[in-house]
Structure 1
């Protein structure tokens, strides 16, 4: 099995010839981190893939620049039996290598600096970091004990033995670190406090914010604030979770959004959009209306989008292709109306003020954003 040539080709693809990350990507046998994975089928549902049963497909998947879903709901691919049906949202993955490298670059790692890798997953970032910095300088944490134990077992034969901890990083993180790189979407507010507490003065944080594509980087000041910017870059990571799966409390609201008539019915101004795929718009929606979840379906030429909120608000917009949609809304907030205000601003100004914004995270976990006259607060 000539994995070395494939790893070298992957490294050439996702790094530059002079990059300090070229050698780590080329040296790590990524296929050993993902022996089994889930693939989403075009018609919906998940199919289990087993690398050992199809070596060519395994090598193709492992050494392509793509994310491989390793856990859906509470079922990890390693534990699935033939015929098992995974249900729910992806809850762990092997992140695409180019994004791993980008996040490591945002972290500004260097010799002698300690790194906290927040979100072990399959262990790819941990492996690259341990290869470059040395295992003694790397700590990796995940809420799932199986993920940390599996990564530890798979990295050890490669010669990497970083410290692994199974814990909920939104509750407590032991120790302090020079650099923290998070490949999960951290929640602004109280859930961010332990991360800030684990960052040493003068240290650097690189993370995304939950339900957004915003990569926020900053340096910790003596007063405890982390001050930096929203990078002109984007990434979509899974939300942090505190248990085996994400809570399902919005299932009933989604059911209403799919079937009920709203107490307000109108014609939308813009075509239906898959909000989750419109990253900048989705990010701004989380800034203005935190906690919104999205859904999207197609049937022939008919496209339908859903927005739901924990307060019971929901919206449904449906139309054939790019025709003006029929919009149903219900609850204390008019979610589609807020979405259209954001799209109005995008069209009127040619962009939204998110990327490149100044960022400040106070010790209470509140994120303050500003760009020109625009200001916003997340997690207050």
Structure 2
């Protein structure tokens, strides 16, 4: 199996040859870390087995794309061969290599840095080990199976970083010059600030947003930095085998219900996760909205559901047709969305990317740009 040619092609697609990340990308066998994965089909997630189709395996593993390895509690490694379908939301993956490198670049990793990174499949850990040496890398995950499996696959290619199964929103082991999280958090765990050495840097994303936070530890135990100019999306931290969906009961109740308020939107229908800026601003304004969508022929319908019982449903028969909006519950979620779209339309942008970041020692985070501020606690 000539995986080396595929790895070199991937490296050339992601970085320039003079990059310090070219070598790690070119010599790390990504397929070792993703022998099986899930691909989204028409009705459900479909299992792919690399050994059963090595050509498709090489194409998938060495493409600059994310490979989903777990749906709900069902890891592709453990899925029964006959149970080739899964329904649910992704709970673990091998992040696209280009985004892994982007996160590492934001961390400004030096040759002598000691780095804490999240595990996942272990591929990102392998790149970091190739770059620094495995004695400088600690890799952690909340799922003991992921940590044990990744450690075994790292060992099979001669890499032996420090590994641990732990909840990174609680205590983390050791002290570090850099912490790079490829899961999203809200707020930034105070334990990260305690584990960072003076002048150390953390890089993460805020849950529910496309915002990459880069922040350097300050003398008071907090940190200051910026929101990076480029967006990224990662799965949220979880504390069990799957994510709790607190809006499932509300979803069944309001799927077709008439709203307490029925209006016509002035803007074309938007499924919020399709717009990084709008999604991020809405999450800062009203955190925790669950977004869902269905397409039936030419008609598209989107739902916004909040654990407090607020909801909105908007439908349109075409991309340019004004959607009809039903809303109910204690707050009007679509109105919150429209205020953000008004601002975007009026100003041509939203004050997110490039915003200043201040993180207090307890993890409370404040974003500021011009007269705009937002607090994340």
Q: Is the pair's TM-score, using the shorter chain for normalization, greater than 0.5?
A: yes
User: What is the total number of aligned residue pairs between the two structures?
Assistant: 375
Please list, as runs of the form range in 1=range in 2, the aligned pairs for 1:189-338 lying within 5 A after superposition.
Answer: 192-321=189-318, 322-338=320-336
- Deviation of 1:265 after TM superposition, in Å, equals 1.1
Q: CA–CA distance in 1 between the matches of 2:330 and 2:175?
A: 42
Aligned residue number for residue 14 of structure 2? 14
Aligned residue number for residue 110 of structure 1? 110
Aligned residue number for residue 50 of structure 1? 49
Aligned residue number for residue 147 of structure 2? 148
Cα deviations by residue, 1:205-249 (Å, 9 ceiling, x for unpaired)? 111000000001010001011100001011010000001000122
Q: CA–CA distance in 1 between the matches of 2:322 and 2:104?
A: 43
Cα deviations by residue, 1:318-364 (Å, 9 ceiling, x for unpaired)? 11122111111111111110001001111110000000100111112
Task: Classify the secondary structure of the residue corresponding to 2:160.
Answer: coil
Task: Classify the secondary structure of the residue corresponding to 1:17.
Answer: coil
Contact in 2 for aligned 1:257/1:308 (Cα 8 Å): no
Aligned residue number for residue 64 of structure 1? 63
Q: CA–CA distance in 2 between the matches of 1:184 and 1:331?
A: 31
Q: CA–CA distance in 2 between the matches of 1:283 and 1:20?
A: 32
Please list, as runs of the form range in 1=range in 2, the aligned pairs for 1:31-50 lying within 5 A after superposition.
Answer: 31-41=31-41, 43-50=42-49
Q: CA–CA distance in 1 between the matches of 2:239 and 2:363?
A: 18
- Deviation of 1:99 after TM superposition, in Å, equals 0.4
Cα deviations by residue, 1:264-312 (Å, 9 ceiling, x for unpaired)? 1111111111211111100000111111121122111111111111111
Bigger shift: residues 51-60 or 167-176: 167-176
RMSD (Å), alpha carbons? 1.0
Q: CA–CA distance in 1 between the matches of 2:252 and 2:231?
A: 31
Bigger shift: residues 166-175 or 368-377: 166-175
Aligned residue number for residue 375 of structure 1? 373
- Deviation of 1:88 after TM superposition, in Å, equals 1.4
Task: Classify the secondary structure of the residue corresponding to 1:234.
Answer: coil
How high is the TM-score relative to the length of structure 2? 0.98
Q: CA–CA distance in 2 between the matches of 1:61 and 1:75?
A: 20
Task: Classify the secondary structure of the residue corresponding to 1:233.
Answer: coil
Aligned residue number for residue 182 of structure 1? 181
Structure 2 unmatched runs, 5+? none
Please list, as runs of the form range in 1=range in 2, the aligned pairs for 1:72-111 lying within 5 A after superposition.
Answer: 72-84=71-83, 85-111=85-111
Q: CA–CA distance in 2 between the matches of 1:268 and 1:255?
A: 24
Q: CA–CA distance in 2 between the matches of 1:355 and 1:109?
A: 22
Aligned pair partner of 1:350 in 342, 348, 351: 348
Task: Classify the secondary structure of the residue corresponding to 2:331.
Answer: coil
Task: Classify the secondary structure of the residue corresponding to 2:51.
Answer: helix
Contact in 2 for aligned 1:257/1:306 (Cα 8 Å): no
- Deviation of 1:174 after TM superposition, in Å, equals 2.0
Cα deviations by residue, 1:49-78 (Å, 9 ceiling, x for unpaired)? 000000000000000010000000000000
Q: CA–CA distance in 2 between the matches of 1:16 and 1:349?
A: 36
Q: CA–CA distance in 2 between the matches of 1:257 and 1:152?
A: 45
Task: Classify the secondary structure of the residue corresponding to 1:375.
Answer: strand
- Deviation of 1:194 after TM superposition, in Å, equals 2.0
Structure 1 unmatched runs, 5+? none
Aligned residue number for residue 359 of structure 2? 361
Task: Classify the secondary structure of the residue corresponding to 2:254.
Answer: helix
Aligned residue number for residue 160 of structure 2? 161
Q: CA–CA distance in 2 between the matches of 1:5 and 1:360?
A: 44
Bigger shift: residues 259-268 or 61-70: 259-268
Q: CA–CA distance in 2 between the matches of 1:15 and 1:253?
A: 45
